[in-house]
Structure 1
Amino acid sequence: MKNIILHTRGIHCLRLPNIFRIIAVVVLGSILLPASPTLAHHGWGSFDTNNLVYVAGTVSSDGTWGNPHSYFDITVDSNLPASTPSDLEIPEQLQDPEDSTRVKAARAYNGPHKELEVIIAPPAWSGMWGLDRPLEVGERFQGVGYISREDDGLFRPVVFWYGDDNTPVNQVLGNRLPVRAPLPGSSTDSGDSPTDSGDTPIMGTDVLELSENDKSGDWVVWTVFGVIALAIGVGGFFYLRRSNQRN
């Protein structure tokens, strides 16, 4: 293996293998990664997380099945129910009342587009919850999620249902909604807990400014960075120790 020469004070001729140079490049890439558009796209920040919407339709394109996300188009039904149909099964990961209440209360999409582009999690994640293949053209699709702030023709679900059996597929990390926004029609102006038509307070109308999902990308990056930095430090220590013993 070729070596590079590193001259430092107190160490006149220290030979470091090229692997350390390669690792340094990886570390630098890890530092810069949070600023990349790809990582930013993994988060929910570019979507209107204050407004959960329900969409339904049929898959109208083969789309892309792969990493970092899968894409396909749907033709939106001309007549949508007012909100999420009550007979749709909420996946186990979103059955906490704070989340399931919001999913069930999502208002029907009323935007200008007859077709929407749908972005879902990569195959490895969707496959964990039952979808191990691309959706087929003409297949039934229903979803609850968010419209992009930057492109109102782009929809990203937190959960979706596919096929004639309405199989549910979880799409969130941390098993909770990215933001538990106020429920439709609720008000917190008076400082009291809003209620439904009865006397039971509706749970969780507080807005979380930054959710665990929003921070997950940075957490993963800095964890990887920390592991690599630790590996460099440990490897460098033993390399120097071995070099000193030889000398």
Structure 2
Amino acid sequence: MSMSRRRFALVAAATPLAVALATPPSAWAHHGWSSFDQEKPIYLEGRVVQSKWQNPHAELLIERRPELVLPPDLKQRPLPAQSAGVDGPGLLARAALPRRKDRRWELELAPLTRMAAWQVAEIKVGETVSAVGFTTKDEAGEAVMRVEYLFVAGKAYGLRSSPV
């Protein structure tokens, strides 16, 4: 193999590693829907301690209420219509408290374009939010929830798709 071919092969082999090392750790944590257990919706509520209003999706870090219980009205909460075929009432009826007792949870919301379509104002540190969504199938690693329905200041938002 010639010197230029060896150099090309080394550069080609090293490029994926260089890209991985240059990628910020927050991007490594990005999850698709497939890693979440969509058969077991959970309910969380807490105070926002960090807010990242950025793509690929907005994120909130919340401090879970220590005395967290399912709200008695959860199953009857009105839900907005959205373009995805989500059985919202069914999800609310099946929602349970998470088995994990982590004090802090990362809530993965929708991309900013979808948050804007729902007219969700940027959520600030100190605000209280609640959500119904899904945690990872194996419940290992970080305490993270992919949010299906977000409840903020008396309003409900369906984050799987756009409003109709």
Per the TM alignment, residue 167 of structure 1 is displaced from its structure 2 partner at its CA by 1.1
Of 46, 55, 58, 1:67 maps to 55
Q: Residue 134 of structure 1 corresponds to which residue in structure 2? A: 122
Counterpart contact for 1:119–1:155, Cα < 8 Å = yes
SS at match of 1:51: coil
Of 150, 155, 160, 1:160 maps to 150
- Specify which structure has the higher proportion of helix: 1
Q: Provide Cα deviations, 1:25-64, integer angstroms capped at 9, x if missing partner.
A: xxxxxxxxxxxxx7xx463011122210011111111x32
Q: Residue 90 of structure 2 corresponds to which residue in structure 1? A: 101
Q: Residue 64 of structure 2 corresponds to which residue in structure 1? A: 76
Structure 1 stretches of 4+ moved >6 Å: none
Q: Residue 171 of structure 1 corresponds to which residue in structure 2? A: 159
Structure 1, gaps ≥5 residues long = 1-37, 176-247
Higher Cα radius of gyration:
1
Q: 1:108 to 1:115 in 2, by over 3 A?
A: same
RCO higher in 1 or 2 (8 Å CA, sep ≥ 6)? 2
The alignment's TM-score, normalised by the length of structure 2, stands at 0.68
Alignment partners' CA distance in 2, 1:139 and 1:64: 14
Q: 1:85 to 1:103 in 2, by over 3 A?
A: closer
Structure 2, gaps ≥5 residues long = 1-26
For the pair 1:147 / 2:138, whether they are aligned, the reply is no
The alignment's TM-score, normalised by the length of structure 1, stands at 0.47
Q: Residue 104 of structure 2 corresponds to which residue in structure 1? A: 115
SS at match of 1:102: helix
Q: 1:87 to 1:102 in 2, by over 3 A?
A: closer
- How big is the alpha-carbon RMSD for the aligned residues of Structure 1 and Structure 2? 2.8
Per the TM alignment, residue 127 of structure 1 is displaced from its structure 2 partner at its CA by 1.5
Of 47, 63, 80, 1:58 maps to 47
Alignment partners' CA distance in 2, 1:139 and 1:170: 19
State the number of aligned residues. Answer: 133
Q: 1:86 to 1:134 in 2, by over 3 A?
A: same
Q: Provide Cα deviations, 1:196-241, integer angstroms capped at 9, x if missing partner.
A: xxxxxxxxxxxxxxxxxxxxxxxxxxxxxxxxxxxxxxxxxxxxxx
Counterpart contact for 1:70–1:120, Cα < 8 Å = yes
SS at match of 2:82: helix
Counterpart contact for 1:56–1:141, Cα < 8 Å = yes
Q: 1:86 to 1:99 in 2, by over 3 A?
A: closer
